[in-house]
Amino acid sequence: MTRAFALLLCTTLAAGAADPLTPKDSALDTRYLRDHAQTRGFMLGRPVRPKVTPDGKTVLFLRAKPRVAKMSLFAFDVASGKTAEVLTPEVVLKGAEEDLTPEEKARRERQRVTVGGFATYHLSPDAASVLVSLSGRLYLVPRATGKVIELKTGKGTLVDPKFSPDGKLVSYVLDQDVYTIDPRTQTESRVTKGGTERKTHGLAEFVAQEEMNRFTGYWWSPDSKRIAYQESDAANVETWHVADPVYPENSPLPSFYPRPGKANVTVRLGVVGLDGGETVWVEWDRKKYEYLANVHWQKLGGLTLTVQTRDQQELLLLRADPATGKTTTLLKEADPAWLNLNHERPHWLADGSFLWHGEGKEGAQLELRDKTGALERIIIPASEGFLGVVHFASKNKEITYRASADPTQQHLFRKSLDGAEPTALSKEPGLHSSVVGKTGVYVHTASLLSAMPRSTVHRADGEKVGELPSVAEEPPFVVKQEISKVGKDPGFYTTIIRPRAFDKAKKYPVILHVYGGPGHQEVLAQMNRRLIDQWLADQGFIIVAIDNRGTPGRGRDWERAMYKKFASVPLDDQVAGLEALGKKFPELDTKRVGVYGWSFGGYMAALAVLRRPDVFAVGIAGAPVTDWYDYDTHYTERYMGVPDKDDAAYKEGSLLTYAKDLKRPLLLVHGTADDNVFFRHTLKLTDALFREGKDFDCLPLSGLTHLVPDPVVMQRLYGRFAGYLRKHLGRPKPLEGATP
């Protein structure tokens, strides 16, 4: 009854005709927010997902129109520098509108894809054909003719299409089993048998998609004769339902959601021939190593898999014999807190040795391992800020990789295994990434401190041959972002965004844009992630962001400092960073500080006003995790430990523990259809606050998930944020001692 009343209270506050959250003297101009939302942060129209054809002659990529969130396929000719449109969703569907199944919508949610059209595309091994999926159907398009051929697959929910390594077949998962189809004869064949909603074949389970960043559950053998597939048994996993209260006539969507301390999906790996014969099950200690993190099947090295313990403190790289299922251990990694996952395959050399993206005592490093898995030497140490291998040319033993000793940047380097000094491929401050083809032709994407992302095409020797053309609208301003390091050694990396009409004679209220959780940095030399913050600063604030202990990029000990201390270490560091910024920059009014964030940042924003009302005057918490017992296993147990052994950490990290302490204005915002951080989280906190007699504000976003792609909602949402912050923080004031 009380929780129902809390929901009613939320809805009433959100839907009032006269907005109680925006002051009457507001002069907010939200036209920029409309443009930002309709252009998806001025990213629509920029080339994405480039792929270089094996002959190095063409770069294919996806691109939308500036204000239409629908991707089409384009081709850039390396010789001439000209670009041509290859395929559009309208041509494929003959003008019909795209219709996504609930399963595909959930898959795109996991992949953080909010645009329509071609979410991705697949090239045949010889790049002669393109494979795309729309409205649950598959289409093959030979590049020579451009003719669209619909593949006559069976009826049902179809996901994860791929070409076989020899290019003769197309595979996919159809209603929980793996199938293939021969495009030449339109003959469909079932590879696995017996898949059901609770026991699926060939699909990555929820935590693999959401937390491990693995979206496939089956893998081809290099000779195209067999398939390794994941069987996921959710028999003992809780079933949670996502329902939209606005549409009670619609049936809730069920999902198998594993919570800390409760049952996970049971996973095993099988190998089966294309004839659909008996499955050979791969053997390992699945009771101890219950997570299947990665699988790779390569010509050199064979079938390998990475498995992980439930507490994520141990990891094994195993080689499997596909004929017998027997495994041998190539290497073991361990950490007393947790091990990070990456999805790089082992890069094999002809002599059986391999390159491995390892977790050393100081952090991530690139290692050379012999054929038994023993460490030979470290190729790139953690001290260089190693981030990952982009490409390995086995013939000349040359690595292209990302690294940066400055955690606010990411740069590209090329290095030979012979020990020569690396060559820098990028220099401008920002985030640099690359896609490299077999011939060495590569696409370099640069997202800079003071410029939007651009993608240029280069030959193997680095010569620039052109730029993938953008049709995006450009933002109406350049972000005034200053990155600095403050505080006592080792200090905190911070960013400050002042109003474009900044008056040095005034003292400005401060807004902390916070995330603070593991695996994510807020302070990066990148303009496009700060456009909204610049608009918010222009409303009369100074926006700051701080990367606390627990965030990546500064070594193993820095990152592991927040282990089992979610409610203390991150918040203590944010407060220390604010104090250091206030001492360095007198224009910051640290007596008027607001905080806002989303997801883990929403958790941090609520935590800040609950635990440190002496510092934070107002908070806005978007989609916050309020009780870590209600989040998923793989993420939560990695950082918080496993119930019941670590219940103290869960209590310390729960917002419900501090509901009695609310003294400051708090706005809670949450999508009612969120299947990542369920709406349950905000309802539990509103219930706790209501029972404690606390005042709070709540804005439910009807039918929205963890992402907010709707342009109207986004415009209204950030307008609401600005009004709420202005109401409780006020406007800039004259700096003490400044001349009027």
Strand residue runs (E) in 604-708? 618-622, 666-671, 697-701
For residue 410, list its beta bridge partners: 431
DSSP state of 551: B
Active site residues: 599, 674, 706
Helix (H, G, I), strand (E, B) or coil at 266: strand
Please tell me the distance from the alpha carbon of residue 632 to that of residue 680, in angstroms, as a whole number.
13
Contacts of 737 (CB under 8 A, 6+ apart): none
Please tell me the distance from the alpha carbon of residue 150 to that of residue 183, in angstroms, as a whole number.
9
Pair of tokens at residue 255: 């999902």
Please tell me the distance from the alpha carbon of residue 176 to that of residue 180, in angstroms, as a whole number.
13
Please tell me the distance from the alpha carbon of residue 75 to that of residue 58, in angstroms, as a whole number.
6
Please tell me the distance from the alpha carbon of residue 715 to that of residue 306, in angstroms, as a whole number.
43
Please list, residue by residue across 538-555, b when 16 or more beta carbons sit within 10 angstroms of its beta carbon and e when fewer do.
bbbbbbbbbbbbbbbbbb
Could you tell me if 77 and 52 are in contact, meaning their C-beta atoms sit under 8 angstroms apart?
no
DSSP state of 549: B
For residue 667, list its beta bridge partners: 620, 697
Hey, CA dihedral for 646, 647, 649, 653, is it positive or negative?
positive
Cα–Cα distances (Å) from 24 to 20, 509, 558, 695, 727, in that order, read: 9, 19, 46, 21, 9
Please tell me the distance from the alpha carbon of residue 372 to that of residue 346, in angstroms, as a whole number.
13
Q: By C-alpha distance, which of 581, 593, 553, 588 is closest to 487?
A: 581
Q: How far is CA 141 from the centre of its chain?
A: 30
Please tell me the distance from the alpha carbon of residue 136 to that of residue 227, in angstroms, as a whole number.
22
Q: Where are the alpha helices (DSSP H) in 585-666?
A: 600-611, 633-640, 647-653
Helix (H, G, I), strand (E, B) or coil at 365: strand
Please tell me the distance from the alpha carbon of residue 141 to that of residue 87, in angstroms, as a whole number.
9
SS (H, E, C) 284-324: CCCCCCCEEEEEEEECCCEEEEEEECCCCCEEEEEEECCCC
Pair of tokens at residue 356: 């491995």
Element spanning 402, H or E: strand 398-403
Contacts of 491 (CB under 8 A, 6+ apart): 485, 580
For residue 133, list its beta bridge partners: 138
Element spanning 581, H or E: helix 569-584
Could you tell me if 709 and 114 are in contact, meaning their C-beta atoms sit under 8 angstroms apart?
yes
Helix (H, G, I), strand (E, B) or coil at 138: strand
Contacts of 51 (CB under 8 A, 6+ apart): 59, 60, 61, 121, 123, 435
Pair of tokens at residue 210: 């959401």
